[in-house]
A = this chain, B = another copy of it.
Amino acid sequence: MTTIGVVRETDAGERRVALAPDDVPKLRRAGLRVLVEAGAGAGSWFPDPAYAAAGAELADRAEVYAGSDVLVVIGPPDDLTALRPGQWLAGLLAPLTDPVLAERLAAAGVTAVSLDLLPRTLSRAQAMDALTSQASVAGYKAALVAAGAYGGYLPMLMTAAGTTRPARVLVLGAGVAGLQAIATARRLGATVTGYDVREAAQEDIASTGATVLRLDTAAGTGTGGYARRLTAAETAAQQQALDRAVAGFDIVITTAQVPDGRPPVLVTEAALDGLRPGAVVVDTAAGEHGGNVAGSEPGKTMVTPRGVTVVGAAGLLAQLPQAASTAYSRNICALLGSLVRDGAPVLDPDDEIHAAIVVTRDGAVVNPRVLAALGSEVGS
């Protein structure tokens, strides 16, 4: 019988787990055994007894490594050397930003599949789309963080002493996270405007009922549905127009990420200076490579001399671990449903999804995109 292994995540601050107790019965019905490291779900408030009650077996970490055929994870564990030849590893392995990891997995004889390589536009892939499910969690949380940092009401409130106007919220970047931030701010009663350089995303904004901010700048749809990087002249024109537009808002939430690169600065120092005291800016792109907001730092909240609060919103998924793990677990189950044939994981070379997500097999890196990333790394 094929055994699915679940280990506690090893990234600092990570609270998610790759499989939720609720999904264990589904795997059991598919003829799979589920082996869970004791405490693996604790950060997501999934206690060991919940896994046991759902039909999983609890074990220590070494036993999970030794006893499982497919190890499911969020990110790559820091003890990869515990993996053995023939074992599978499935998760968000980021092989394009860390192709050397792929080489190590290949050398260890591990068959690795990575959900961040999923062909996201295929409708059949959507149930496995962990990037989407996690971005949705981050967008929801970003709106809550903004509402929490803001000193006023989001909704319009009518009282005997008068009416309070709703807060004006601007969301920059209307991918999955941005759209979810828009939806959540609208739920809370704010007046929401969305902005994205991609034309298709502008339609998405309009479909949520939010106002679309249109600047007279070039469209920026790139490959894979991500925003493409604009030219310097386009960026300058965009930023000047944005600087002016931003000034009228109480809350700005930025969600503009480009894959494997430095996020664009969308809210400049000039734009921050144009905001009123008490305004709040939440930068979900804040990270080691910068962010969407001038001066934002991941995990830090700062107040400008003018009185604008800038939140470098790092680790949003760890702040909503139950929702993030539940959604991820469903993606993992959909993946396993696609991989497992007659009780064992099999890569079907004719399956578009399998071909896209496989990173290593038979001792070699086989993914063309990862091989290209390795080549450019060698060349750099």
A102-110, A148-156, A208-216, A341-349: which lies at the B interface? Answer: A148-156
A261 within 8 A of B: no
Among residues of B, the one whose C-beta sits closest to the C-beta of A41 is: B277
Option from B44, B133, B161 in Cβ contact (under 8 Å) with A330:
B161
In the assembled complex, the Cα of A132 lies from the Cα of B184 at a distance in Å of 27
A296 within 8 A of B: no
> Within 8 Å CB of A278, what residues of B?
44-45, 322
Complex interface residues of chain A between 160 and 185 (CB less than 8 A to chain B): 160-162, 164, 184
In the assembled complex, the Cα of A136 lies from the Cα of B153 at a distance in Å of 10
Option from B159, B323, B333, B334 in Cβ contact (under 8 Å) with A164:
B323
A321 within 8 A of B: yes
In the assembled complex, the Cα of A203 lies from the Cα of B194 at a distance in Å of 39
- A136, B159: Cβ atoms under 8 Å? yes
Q: Give the shortest distance, in Å, between A16 (CB) and chain B (any CB).
A: 10
Option from B136, B150, B151, B188 in Cβ contact (under 8 Å) with A157:
B136
A67 within 8 A of B: no
- B47, A151: Cβ atoms under 8 Å? no
- B144, A148: Cβ atoms under 8 Å? yes
Q: How many A residues touch B, CB cutoff 8 Å?
A: 49
- B161, A127: Cβ atoms under 8 Å? yes
In the assembled complex, the Cα of A128 lies from the Cα of B161 at a distance in Å of 7
A326 within 8 A of B: yes
- B189, A151: Cβ atoms under 8 Å? no
In the assembled complex, the Cα of A277 lies from the Cα of B153 at a distance in Å of 31
> Within 8 Å CB of A159, what residues of B?
132-133, 136, 327, 330
- B334, A161: Cβ atoms under 8 Å? yes
> Within 8 Å CB of A15, what residues of B?
151
In the assembled complex, the Cα of A191 lies from the Cα of B277 at a distance in Å of 35
- B323, A160: Cβ atoms under 8 Å? no
- B47, A277: Cβ atoms under 8 Å? yes
A129 within 8 A of B: yes
Among residues of B, the one whose C-beta sits closest to the C-beta of A279 is: B45
- B161, A331: Cβ atoms under 8 Å? yes
Option from B144, B161, B277, B333 in Cβ contact (under 8 Å) with A147:
B144
A140 within 8 A of B: yes
A126 within 8 A of B: yes
- A151, B45: Cβ atoms under 8 Å? yes
Complex interface residues of chain A between 273 and 325 (CB less than 8 A to chain B): 276-278, 307, 319-323
- B126, A160: Cβ atoms under 8 Å? yes
- B187, A151: Cβ atoms under 8 Å? no
> Within 8 Å CB of A46, what residues of B?
277
> Within 8 Å CB of A151, what residues of B?
15, 44-45, 319-323
> Within 8 Å CB of A145, what residues of B?
148
Among residues of B, the one whose C-beta sits closest to the C-beta of A155 is: B187
Q: Give the shortest distance, in Å, between A152 (CB) and chain B (any CB).
A: 4
- A323, B152: Cβ atoms under 8 Å? yes
> Within 8 Å CB of A45, what residues of B?
151, 276-278, 307
Which A residues fall within an 8 A CB radius of B? 15, 42, 44-47, 126-129, 132-133, 136-137, 140, 144-145, 147-148, 150-153, 155, 157, 159-162, 164, 184, 187-189, 276-278, 307, 319-323, 326-327, 330-331, 333-334
**CB-based closest 9 A-B pairs:** A45-B278, A126-B160, A161-B330, A151-B322, A152-B322, A45-B277, A152-B323, A127-B161, A153-B323
